[in-house]
C-alpha cells in the first residue's frame, strides 16, 4: 500500500469543515485513513475533482455514523486502539421506475452516475441480484482505486414486481425532487473537464450533492409502504430512507477476528461471514439500526413506526494472484446476504 498523507490542511479539509464544522471535521479526519498518496496529488488553484471526492466520502462517513450508533461505538473503539477506519466502499439504493413513469430525478443509478463520473469514478462492475430483483453497479476511482472508497449503487427494478407494487412505487417515488441545481451541475462539468473551481463554489456544490444522499420523495403513505414491504424489504427501506448511505465498510485484515471481537463487545454482528466464489472477498456486518420514521395515514395525518435504518459493514480483501493486486471486486452472493441486514425485524 502506498505511503499516505493526512489531509489536515488544504482544500479537501476546508471543504469538510464547511459542511460539518471545525470540531466534527477534525474528528472525522482523525477517524478515517487518508485517501491520497504522498506526492500523488499536486496543489491546484482551488478545489479539483480528487479533493472534492475525498471530502464527499468523509462527510458521507460522518453522516452514517450519526445514524448508526453501533457503528459509532465500533469506530470509537478503533480510535482508542490507535487504528483508523479504512473506508472500502459505501452503498446506496435507487429505484428504476417502469418506462413511462414520470419523475424529476434521473431513473435509478443514472441519478448518481452524473455525480460520480465527473469526480473520477468509473463503472467497473455490474452484479445481478435476481433474488432481490435488483442490480448492483460499482464505481471505482480511476486514479486511486485502492485508497479512495468505491460506491456500490444498487437499482431496484420495479417492472419485475406485481402491478399493485408498481403502482405503489410510482406513488411513492414518482414525486421525488431533483435537487441537483444548475450551479452544482456546472461545478461537476468543470471537474469532468479536468479543471478546478474556487473554494466557495466547491463548498456550495458539496452541500447540494449531500442532499442527493437523502430521501428525495415525500413522506410515504403507510398503505403504500405495506404494499412495498410485502414484496420487497429493499423497496420498503428506500421508501423511508431514500438514497442515504445504506452502509459504509471498514476494510479489515481479518474479518472473522473482527466479527468475534464485535460479539465480545456485545454488538449485533451478523451470524455468518459471506465468502465470495473466489474466496478472496469476505464480508459481514452489524445489523441495521432501528429508527423511527413518519408515515401518512389515509386521512393525511402523520403516524410513526420503527423501521430498519442503515448499518456498518466489514470486509477483508485478498490479493488476486492473477494480477498481484488487491481484489477490489464484489460478489452477488455476498451482496445478497448483506442486504438482509435491513430486513424488517
Spatial separation of the C-alpha atoms in residues 244 and 240, rounded to whole Å? 10
Strand-strand pairing, 247-251 and 311-317: parallel
pLDDT band at 190 (very low <50, low <70, confident <90, very high): very high
Cβ atoms of residues 62 and 28 within 8 Å:
yes
- State the pLDDT at residue 97: 98
Spatial separation of the C-alpha atoms in residues 91 and 152, rounded to whole Å? 5
Of the chain, the percentage scoring pLDDT greater than 90 comes to: 90
pLDDT band at 247 (very low <50, low <70, confident <90, very high): very high
Cα dihedral 129/317/309/108 (nearest 10): -40
Spatial separation of the C-alpha atoms in residues 1 and 22, rounded to whole Å? 30
Task: State yes or no: pLDDT of 78 exceeds 80.
Answer: yes
108: left (phi over 0), alpha (psi -120 to 50) or beta: left
Spatial separation of the C-alpha atoms in residues 130 and 90, rounded to whole Å? 21
pLDDT band at 59 (very low <50, low <70, confident <90, very high): very high
- State the pLDDT at residue 343: 83
Task: State yes or no: pLDDT of 243 exceeds 80.
Answer: yes
Task: State yes or no: pLDDT of 25 exceeds 80.
Answer: yes
- Of 344 and 95, the structure prediction assigns the larger pLDDT to 95
- State the pLDDT at residue 12: 61
- State the pLDDT at residue 45: 73
Cβ atoms of residues 105 and 177 within 8 Å:
yes
Q: What is the mean predicted confidence (pLDDT) over 94-105? A: 95
pLDDT band at 14 (very low <50, low <70, confident <90, very high): confident
Task: State yes or no: pLDDT of 5 exceeds 50.
Answer: no
Q: What is the mean predicted confidence (pLDDT) over 140-160? A: 97
Spatial separation of the C-alpha atoms in residues 4 and 180, rounded to whole Å? 33
The DSSP element (H or E) to which 153 belongs, if any, is: strand 150-157
Task: State yes or no: pLDDT of 8 exceeds 50.
Answer: no
Task: State yes or no: pLDDT of 290 exceeds 70.
Answer: yes
Q: What is the mean predicted confidence (pLDDT) over 76-96? A: 97
**What's the start-to-end Cα distance of the chain, in Å?**
40
CA distance readout (Å), 303 to 212, 219, 220: 25, 10, 11
Spatial separation of the C-alpha atoms in residues 307 and 51, rounded to whole Å? 35
pLDDT band at 171 (very low <50, low <70, confident <90, very high): very high
Cell numbers at 218, concatenated? 415525500
Task: State yes or no: pLDDT of 249 exceeds 80.
Answer: yes
- State the pLDDT at residue 40: 55
pLDDT band at 2 (very low <50, low <70, confident <90, very high): very low
- State the pLDDT at residue 7: 37
pLDDT averaged over every residue in the chain:
93
State which CATH number among 3.30.565.10, 3.40.50.2000, 3.30.420.40, 3.10.180.50 fits the domain covering 11-342. Answer: 3.10.180.50
Phi, psi angle pair for 104, to nearest 5°: -70, -30
**Across the chain, how many H-helices and E-strands are there?**
12, 14
Cell numbers at 201, concatenated? 463554489
Of the chain, the percentage scoring pLDDT greater than 70 comes to: 94
Q: Which of 31-40, 148-157, 174-183, 235-244 has the lowest mean pLDDT?
A: 31-40
- State the pLDDT at residue 92: 98
pLDDT band at 3 (very low <50, low <70, confident <90, very high): very low
Q: What is the mean predicted confidence (pLDDT) over 49-77? A: 97
Amino acid at each position: 500500500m502506498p505511503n499516505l498523507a493526512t489531509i489536515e490542511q488544504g482544500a479537501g479539509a476546508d471543504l469538510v469543515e464547511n459542511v460539518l464544522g471545525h470540531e466534527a471535521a477534525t474528528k472525522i479526519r482523525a477517524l478515517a485513513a487518508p485517501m491520497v498518496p504522498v506526492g500523488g496529488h499536486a496543489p491546484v488553484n482551488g478545489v479539483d475533482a480528487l479533493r472534492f471526492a475525498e471530502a464527499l466520502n468523509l462527510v458521507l462517513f460522518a453522516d452514517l455514523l450519526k445514524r448508526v450508533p453501533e457503528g459509532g461505538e465500533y469506530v470509537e473503539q478503533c480510535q482508542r486502539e490507535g487504528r483508523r477506519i479504512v473506508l472500502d466502499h459505501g452503498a446506496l439504493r435507487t429505484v428504476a421506475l417502469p418506462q413511462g413513469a414520470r419523475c424529476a430525478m434521473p431513473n435509478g443509478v443514472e441519478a448518481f452516475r452524473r455525480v460520480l463520473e465527473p469526480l473520477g469514478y468509473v463503472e467497473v462492475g455490474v452484479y445481478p441480484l435476481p433474488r432481490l430483483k435488483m442490480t448492483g453497479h460499482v464505481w471505482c476511482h480511476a486514479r486511486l482505486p485502492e485508497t479512495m472508497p468505491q460506491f456500490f449503487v444498487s437499482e431496484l427494478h420495479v417492472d419485475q414486481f406485481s402491478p399493485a407494487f408498481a403502482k405503489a412505487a410510482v406513488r411513492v417515488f414518482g414525486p421525488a425532487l431533483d435537487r441537483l441545481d444548475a450551479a452544482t451541475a456546472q461545478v461537476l462539468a468543470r471537474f469532468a473537464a479536468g479543471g478546478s473551481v474556487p473554494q466557495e463554489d466547491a463548498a456550495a456544490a458539496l452541500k447540494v450533492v449531500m442532499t442527493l444522499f437523502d430521501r428525495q420523495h415525500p413522506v410515504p403513505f403507510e398503505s403504500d409502504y405495506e404494499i412495498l414491504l410485502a414484496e420487497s424489504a429493499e423497496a420498503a427501506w428506500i421508501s423511508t430512507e431514500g438514497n442515504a448511505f445504506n452502509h459504509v465498510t471498514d476494510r479489515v485484515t481479518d474479518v472473522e477476528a473482527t466479527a468475534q471481537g464485535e460479539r465480545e463487545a456485545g454488538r449485533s454482528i451478523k451470524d455468518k461471514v459471506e465468502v465470495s466464489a473466489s474466496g478472496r472477498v469476505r464480508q459481514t456486518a452489524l445489523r441495521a439500526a432501528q429508527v423511527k420514521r413518519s408515515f401518512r395515514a389515509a386521512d393525511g395525518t402523520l403516524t410513526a413506526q420503527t423501521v430498519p435504518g442503515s448499518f456498518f459493514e466489514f470486509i477483508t480483501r485478498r490479493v488476486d494472484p492473477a494480477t498481484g493486486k488487491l481484489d477490489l471486486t464484489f460478489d452477488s452472493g455476498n451482496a445478497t446476504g448483506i442486504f438482509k441486514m435491513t430486513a424488517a425485524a
